[in-house]
Amino acid sequence: MSPTARPGPDAAPSPVLLDRDGLSALLDALHARGFDVIGPTMRDGAIVYDRIADIAALPAGWTDRQEPGRYRLERRPDVALFGYAVGPHSWKRFLHPPEETLWRARRAADGFTIIGEAPPPKPFAFLGVRACELHAIAIQDRVFLGGAHQDAGYAARRQGAFLVALACGTAAGTCFCASMGTGPRPENGFDLVLTELIDAARHEFLAVAGSDAGAAVLATLPTRPAGPQAIGAADAVLARTEASMGRHLDTHGLKERLQANPDHPHWDEVTSRCLACTNCTLVCPTCFCTSVSDHTTLAGDEAARVKRWDSCFIADFSFIHGGSVRSSGKSRYRQWLTHKLAHWIDQFGTSGCVGCGRCIAWCPVGIDITAEAAAIGAVAKEDRRGNA
Ligand code: SF4
Ligand code: SF4
């Protein structure tokens, strides 16, 4: 099935309830169907995405506290399995990995033999994909698959991926998907969607199929029909999450406000704090820039062409004949923010920001994209009033 065309189940999907054993059976079913199952787990003081064998790998009873330049894990009062927001990883590290060998060449007696990279041995199944992350995957689908030239490696990894979405039950202090129109409710682009329902009386998951593949897997699991009470409880989870979202970005006219202010003094102010460390681009689930380099062995008998994540915060990234197109830190920060929130709309038809807040939490000096965009937009509004 094309990743950009994911038909829903033939009949309107009926919500069902899974208990913890049912969730465990879901993982078993995905493994049995040959998927490489990736989900959230705890490592190095953060919740990251990695291969998981069973639900024991999930971060039961943990949550995260996130603010500008700060990410900490804390114990929850319950044993929720998905009671946190997003961590430093996004699904792009699997679909668009940090490093990828495009091909290798080996010297032969009569020239070189080119060895292409093997496709991934198993399709991915992602467990716990948030609404903002579904939007981020859709954006990368558009970037890598939507143009005249498709990225063959991305296409191979994306093909057949099974997405288990999660209705967020917790918003971080850095989340603002509600104001970007990308969450917290997963709307489409998934095979199954789960909502974790946990209180003193129960711990279970409302599950709804979003594709025929999802319906087929759900049909094999131990479930029971979900009544109006459970459906109402799932709606209440999303309403609470939206109400507790830590940040907001006023997107009304934002593209025009940013594009009209390339010389706004706030660009200098934010650049005086920016370390050009590239963290924001590395954690961002939509950033896609790469560089390619060729490597040969000293003996000259083997060569490889390697693609690696790169960043518009690095001066060399825009180096062309005669020098860097963006030689100042100001021009590089402005490029990143205006591409994300303004030019991306011209280029791809949507904002490049899904409001996940990762760039805010993982910026070592706490630069906050919502505050910087608002600062430029607010003064621009005042300028317009003064000029009227
Ligand atoms: S720009 Fe920041 S908030 Fe927006 S999608 Fe990227 S990491 Fe998330
Ligand atoms: S993470 Fe912060 S300091 Fe690092 S490049 Fe991005 S904005 Fe600058």
What are the tens digits of pLDDT across the range 6-33? 556 656 679 999 999 999 999 999 999 9
Same domain, 191 and 293: no
Q: What is the pLDDT, as a whole number, of residue 140?
A: 97
Buried/exposed code over 196-210 (b: 16+ C-beta within 10 A; e: otherwise):
bbbeeeebbbbbbbb
Same domain, 258 and 211: no
Distance between Cα 116 and ligand 1 center (Å): 33
Same domain, 185 and 292: no
Distance between Cα 184 and ligand 1 center (Å): 15
Q: Are strands 16-19 and 224-225 parallel, antiparallel or unpaired?
A: antiparallel
pLDDT in tens, 300-313: 899 999 999 999 99
pLDDT in tens, 74-98: 999 999 999 999 999 999 999 999 9
Helix, strand, coil tally for the chain in percent (to 5): 35, 25, 40
Greater confidence (2 vs 48) lies with: 48
Same domain, 175 and 146: yes
**CA-proximal residue: ligand 1, atom 7 (nearest):** 284
Amino acid at position 376, single letter: I
Same domain, 258 and 119: no
Q: What is the pLDDT, as a whole number, of residue 150?
A: 94
Provide Rg for the chain, Cα atoms: 22
Q: Pocket residues for ligand 2 (CB within 6 Å)?
A: 274-280, 313, 363-365, 367
State the Cα–Cα distance between residues 147 and 316, nearest whole angstrom: 26
Same domain, 206 and 336: no
The answer as to whether 1 is a domain residue is no
Question: Of 187, 222, 243, at which residue does a domain stop?
Answer: 243
How many CA atoms within 13 Å lie on the side-chain side of 214? 30
The answer as to whether 11 is a domain residue is no
Question: Of 243, 271, 297, at which residue does a domain stop?
Answer: 243
Q: Exposed, middle or buried, 161 (CB in 10 Å: 0-12/13-18/19+)?
A: buried
Same domain, 311 and 281: yes
The answer as to whether 10 is a domain residue is no
* Structural domain count, the chain: 2
Q: What is the pLDDT, as a whole number, of residue 11?
A: 61
pLDDT in tens, 347-367: 999 999 999 999 999 999 999
Of the chain, the percentage scoring pLDDT greater than 70 comes to 94
Starting from the CA of residue 279, give the closest ligand.
2
0.85 surpassed by pTM: yes
How many CA atoms within 13 Å lie on the side-chain side of 131? 24
Distance between Cα 115 and ligand 1 center (Å): 36
The CB of 286 under 6 Å from ligand 1? The reply is: yes
Distance between Cα 280 and ligand 2 center (Å): 6
Q: What is the pLDDT, as a whole number, of residue 8?
A: 60
Same domain, 222 and 364: no
Same domain, 202 and 274: no
Mean pLDDT of 52-77: 98
The answer as to whether 3 is a domain residue is no
pLDDT in tens, 275-290: 999 999 999 999 999 9
Same domain, 85 and 159: yes
The answer as to whether 140 is a domain residue is yes
State the Cα–Cα distance between residues 36 and 156, nearest whole angstrom: 14
Same domain, 304 and 229: no
pLDDT in tens, 125-179: 999 999 999 999 999 999 999 988 999 999 999 999 999 999 999 999 999 999 9
State the Cα–Cα distance between residues 65 and 361, nearest whole angstrom: 9
Mean pLDDT of the chain: 93
SS3 for 27? Answer: helix
Q: Which domain holds residue 313?
A: 254-387
DSSP 8-state symbol, 77: S
The CB of 123 under 6 Å from ligand 1? The reply is: no
Same domain, 108 and 127: yes
Starting from the CA of residue 337, give the closest ligand.
1
Question: Of 243, 264, 297, at which residue does a domain stop?
Answer: 243
